């Protein structure tokens, strides 16, 4: 009798070896000379992304004297009774503007109940393809949002047929839930993405052909692997009270890279993992964060490998997703 591995066993081995290769990128990235010292004594991947800060201040909340003081620093920013500018994060003028606001006792809108004296601050990141390619792991969300989606008591996602667009391949609901078409499920299964799991959905809607055609046509995409807790600078802020909560809280919370300037105001927020902690999870193409970002019943954020992203590129899905790099931090050694 012929010995050796079956085709199925060989395919699993090949997929695992590819995932192992992506996992080894942690070592490649750590040694390629593009790291810089980051928060909490960690070294982080130096990003080439564009980072710009949006600042908006209203005279009716801050006072006209503040608007004038800001305009003295950056004359182009005054627009009637308000001040507005968009400058690179770290620009000397922006730092002076923030100093003026702090000197007048003003603070940006942030954790906790809003105050009339708050001003708007957002530090927006824009990634190049090179930024995304350099990251060993990424998180992602579909640009197509699905509405009127819920889970049954048994955990099954329930969709409405009249909310499913023609030709839909991949959609997101409730921040962390992912739905793919039967076509994409087949392609992913053929690729053998490690730790990717598919669950059936249920379809509601008006009686008729559209509802019948949708039955069995869409699947929840999730994972059977939960990653270790995120590392610093991750902070978790209660969605209503602004209080910090632990990452395993079942209360609805948002996730930020700190509670002050600048960490709280970076968008999108980048997950950070200690290199050793992430390595302990083993190779994967798709996993979920330990933290259930928007509340216990929603589950964790999806974290994927470069192999998952290459699958999306090869199958014309990359442009249908928003991508954010995951930062893998190596602790400084004495």
Q: Is residue 298 within 8 Å of residue 174, measured between CB atoms?
A: yes
pTM over 0.85: no
65 plus 164 within the same structural domain: no
Q: Provide the pLDDT for residue 332.
A: 56
23 plus 56 within the same structural domain: no
- Structural domain count, the chain: 2
Residue 113 lies in a domain: yes
Q: Provide the pLDDT for residue 325.
A: 97
In residues, how long is the chain?
334
Q: Provide the pLDDT for residue 241.
A: 84
User: What residue ranges of the chain have pLDDT lower than 50?
Assistant: 1-14, 16, 18, 22-47, 208-209, 211, 334
101-153 confidence digits (pLDDT tens):
999 999 998 876 667 668 999 999 999 999 999 999 999 999 999 999 999 99
- Indicate the residue among 72, 99, 126 that finishes a domain: 126
| 167-176 burial: b if 16+ Cβ within 10 Å, else e | ebbbbbbbeb
172 plus 311 within the same structural domain: yes
Rounded to an integer, what is the distance from CA 44 to the centroid of its chain? 17
121 plus 64 within the same structural domain: yes
Q: Provide the pLDDT for residue 65.
A: 95
Q: Provide the pLDDT for residue 42.
A: 37
173 plus 230 within the same structural domain: yes
156 plus 222 within the same structural domain: yes
| Cα distance between residue 55 and residue 102, in whole Å | 13
Residue 263 lies in a domain: no
Residue 141 lies in a domain: yes
Q: Find the helix or strand (DSSP H, E) in which 235 lies.
A: strand 235-238
Domain that holds residue 73: 50-126
Residue 91 lies in a domain: yes
Q: Output the CA–CA distances (angstroms, integers) from residue 96 to 61, 67, 120, in the order listed.
A: 20, 13, 16
Q: What is the CATH number of the domain that holds 104?
A: 3.30.70
- Indicate the residue among 126, 143, 165 that finishes a domain: 126
181 class by beta-carbon count within 10 Å (0-12 exposed, 13-18 middle, 19+ buried): middle
152 plus 73 within the same structural domain: no
84 plus 215 within the same structural domain: no
81 plus 147 within the same structural domain: no
> Maximum distance among all alpha carbons in the chain?
90
25-34 confidence digits (pLDDT tens):
443 433 332 2
- Indicate the residue among 126, 154, 170 that finishes a domain: 126
192 plus 144 within the same structural domain: yes
């Amino acid at each position: 009798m012929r010995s050796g591995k079956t085709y199925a066993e060989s395919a699993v081995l090949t997929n695992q070896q590819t995932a192992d290769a992506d996992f080894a990128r942690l070592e490649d990235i750590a040694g390629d000379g593009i790291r810089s010292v980051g928060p909490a004594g960690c070294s982080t991947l130096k990003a080439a992304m564009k980072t710009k800060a949006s600042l908006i201040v209203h005279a009716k909340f801050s006072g006209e004297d503040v608007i004038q003081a800001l305009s003295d620093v950056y004359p182009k920013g005054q627009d009637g009774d308000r001040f507005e500018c968009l400058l690179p994060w770290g620009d000397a003028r922006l730092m002076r503007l923030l100093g003026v606001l702090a000197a007048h006792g003003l603070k940006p809108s942030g954790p906790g109940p809003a105050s009339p004296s708050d001003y708007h601050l957002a530090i927006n990141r824009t990634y190049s393809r090179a930024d995304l390619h350099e990251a060993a792991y990424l998180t992602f969300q579909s640009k197509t949002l699905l509405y009127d989606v819920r889970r049954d008591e048994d955990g099954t996602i329930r969709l409405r047929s009249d909310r499913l667009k023609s030709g839909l391949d991949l959609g997101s609901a409730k921040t962390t839930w992912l739905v793919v078409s039967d076509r994409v499920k087949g392609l992913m299964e053929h690729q053998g993405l490690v730790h990717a799991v598919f669950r059936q959905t249920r379809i509601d809607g008006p009686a008729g052909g559209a509802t019948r055609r949708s039955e069995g046509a869409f699947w929840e995409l999730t994972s059977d692997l939960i990653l270790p807790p995120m590392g610093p600078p991750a902070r978790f802020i209660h969605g209503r009270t602004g209080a910090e909560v632990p990452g395993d809280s079942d209360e609805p919370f948002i996730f930020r890279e700190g509670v002050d300037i600048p960490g709280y105001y970076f968008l999108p927020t980048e997950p950070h993992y200690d290199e050793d902690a992430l390595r302990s999870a083993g190779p994967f193409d798709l996993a979920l964060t330990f933290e259930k970002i928007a509340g216990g019943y929603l589950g964790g954020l999806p974290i994927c490998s470069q192999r998952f992203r290459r699958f999306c590129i090869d199958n014309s899905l990359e442009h249908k997703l928003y991508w954010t790099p995951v930062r893998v931090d190596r602790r400084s050694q004495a």
